[in-house]
Structures are given as C-alpha cells and as structure tokens.
C-alpha cells in the first residue's frame, strides 16, 4: 500500500536518498525512509537516524546493485544517479540497471548520461536531466539557484537529483531552495 521511491546508482545513492527523504519531510510529505547511512538531521541519542517512520504512503528506499537486491523492488518512482564499474563489470551493471528501470511503474529519473548508457533514453517514463548549472556549492535548476550544503561537485550532482525527485513528487522548488541549506549531511 506504499508509493515506493527507490534510489539506485553506483555512487551517490546514500546521500541522494538522505536528501530526498529529508526534503520530502521538510515539504510536509512525511515519508517513511530506509537509508544506508545516517541522516545527520535525524540522528539523536535515542535513534540512529538512518530510517524514519512517516504517516504518508510515501516510502523512500536506498537500493543496491552490488548484490542485485534492487531487482526485488518494483518502485513507483526511481532514480539512477550514475552507472560505473564497481562491484560488477559494466555489462552486468548496465543489465541490472536496465532491468531495474523496466520494473519501475511510473518515472525513472536518470543522472547525466545514464539513460544513454543504458540505451533507455527516449522511452516513456524515462526522465533525463533538464539543463542545469552544477558547481561545487551551487545548483541552478529551472532558473532557481540552490545553495549546496555539502562540499564537492559530486554532492552538487546528488542535490540536483534529489531536487528532481522531490519535484516529481510534488515539492515546490521554492520550498526546497529554502530548506536545503539546513541539510547536515550523512554520517559514515
């Protein structure tokens, strides 16, 4: 009975999942979240902070390609941050992510070059990045400048993906812009 949002990718999925879950919470969508790392905004002496129970029907998950367990899920919305050789050779990575995209019911948001690499660009439900300016501490998307609270271009790319996912789920971009600077990162 949940509307599942699954975040995958060879890298960046923990940070992107943390951002998506936290931004959805800040936008009032009250998701349940299971993440591989601690969302520092949720960590406290009485809880670890890598998961939260929300009251809505949104369930945000970090899903992993290393053991191919992401193929157990059939999410409503998914994001694939990137695809590169890590735990598997590229042909296996591509096949796993391509199958994951096919199992997504509604929309697949792809990081830069992912849809083309997986040969899924142009298919219904596949969303490639719209023009955006990405710098180490700033992302400009749809004419709105977002301050990136984490260091490094890779984190700016994670922020852009999180913005796109949250926008697809109904979060106003202006609200995302206003709350994003208070995101405190992911504990390792």
Task: Concatenate the DSSP letters of all residues of 19-63 into one string.
Answer: HHHHHHHHTT---EEE-SSEETTT-BTTB-SSEE--SSSEEEEE-
Residue 80 pLDDT class (50, 70, 90 cuts): very high
Alpha-carbon gap, residue 180 to 132, rounded angstroms: 17
The arithmetic mean of pLDDT across residues 156-172, rounded, is 97
Alpha-carbon gap, residue 64 to 9, rounded angstroms: 7
Return the closest-CA partner of residue 29 out of 176, 156, 130: 176
The rounded Cα 119 to chain-centroid distance in angstroms is: 20
Those residues whose C-beta lies under 8 Å from the C-beta of residue 47, and which sit 6 or more positions away, are none
pLDDT tens figures, 131-144: 899 988 999 999 99
Q: Regarding predicted confidence, which is higher, 122 or 22? A: 22
pLDDT tens figures, 88-145: 688 888 999 999 999 999 999 999 999 998 899 889 899 998 889 998 899 999 999 9
Alpha-carbon gap, residue 157 to 86, rounded angstroms: 19
Q: CA 59 → CA 6, 36, 116, 142, 149, distances in Å?
A: 8, 14, 28, 26, 24
Q: CA 133 → CA 13, 137, 142, 147, distances in Å?
A: 21, 11, 10, 12
The pLDDT of residue 84 is above 70: no
């Amino acid at each position: 009975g949940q509307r599942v949002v699954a975040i995958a990718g060879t890298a960046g999925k923990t940070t992107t999942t943390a951002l998506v879950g936290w931004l959805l919470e800040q936008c009032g969508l009250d998701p349940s979240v299971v993440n591989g790392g601690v969302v520092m905004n949720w960590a406290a002496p009485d809880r670890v902070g890598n998961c939260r129970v929300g009251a809505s029907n949104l369930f945000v998950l970090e899903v992993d390609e290393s053991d191919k367990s992401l193929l157990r899920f059939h999410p409503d919305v998914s994001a694939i941050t990137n695809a590169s050789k890590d735990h598997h050779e590229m042909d296996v990575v591509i096949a796993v992510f391509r199958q994951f995209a096919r199992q997504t019911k509604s929309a697949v948001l792809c990081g830069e070059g992912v849809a083309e690499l997986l040969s899924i660009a142009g298919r219904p439900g596949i969303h490639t990045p719209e023009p955006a300016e990405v710098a180490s501490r700033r992302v400009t998307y749809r004419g709105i400048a977002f301050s990136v609270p984490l260091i490094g271009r890779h984190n700016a790319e994670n922020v852009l993906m999180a913005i796109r996912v949250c926008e697809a789920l109904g979060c106003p971009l202006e609200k995302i812009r206003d709350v994003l600077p208070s995101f405190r990162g992911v504990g390792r």
